Amino acid sequence: DMKVTQMPRYLIKRMGENVLLECGQDMSHETMYWYRQDPGLGLQLIYISYDVDSNSEGDIPKGYRVSRKKREHFSLILDSAKTNQTSVYFCASSLFGQGYTEVFFGKGTRLTVV
């Protein structure tokens, strides 16, 4: 069963706390992504990972970092969360070098920073 799993689905954190969003996939995809989605702003790429320990900044990396120690897991970390990081975060994965294949998305994590 091809799946991208995100945990947790909902999270409320206080400003200044650290946040860990986790993502897993069971398709052995090399490429994984973290996006955030805000109303009217579409899907904004935070980080892209091409494989273990091969991570690149996306369009809005400031305030975020990532970790990929296993191909099937990709974590997003917010050190000292800010209220403007309240958003819906999507993890996604795809095959590398196969531009014709689709990107699979997780169900998203709704993060609220108060």
Partner 1 sequence: GDSVTQTEGLVTLTEGLPVMLNCTYQTIYSNPFLFWYVQHLNESPRLLLKSFTDNKRTEHQGFHATLHKSSSSFHLQKSSAQLSDSALYYCAPNSNNRIFFGDGTQLVVKP
The CA angle 21-23-28, to the nearest 5 degrees, is 160
User: Is the Cβ of residue 45 or residue 77 nearer to partner 1 in the bound state?
Assistant: 45
In what helix (H) or strand (E) does residue 95 lie, and over which residues does it extend? none
User: Is the Cβ of residue 16 or residue 42 nearer to partner 1 in the bound state?
Assistant: 42
User: Is the Cβ of residue 73 or residue 107 nearer to partner 1 in the bound state?
Assistant: 107
Least separation in angstroms between CB 27 and partner 1: 14
Least separation in angstroms between CB 15 and partner 1: 26
Report residue 16 as tokens.
């200044």
Label residues 52-63 b or e (16+ Cβ within 10 Å = b). eeebeebeebee
Least separation in angstroms between CB 20 and partner 1: 20
Least separation in angstroms between CB 76 and partner 1: 16
Sequence-distant (≥ 6) Cβ neighbours of residue 62 within 8 angstroms: none
User: Is the Cβ of residue 14 or residue 100 nearer to partner 1 in the bound state?
Assistant: 100
Site residues, partner 1 (CB under 8 A): 31, 33, 35, 40-43, 45, 48, 50, 90, 94, 96-97, 99-100, 102-103, 105-108
Return the sign of the alpha-carbon dihedral for residues 89, 51, 103, 105.
Answer: negative
The DSSP letter of residue 98 is: -
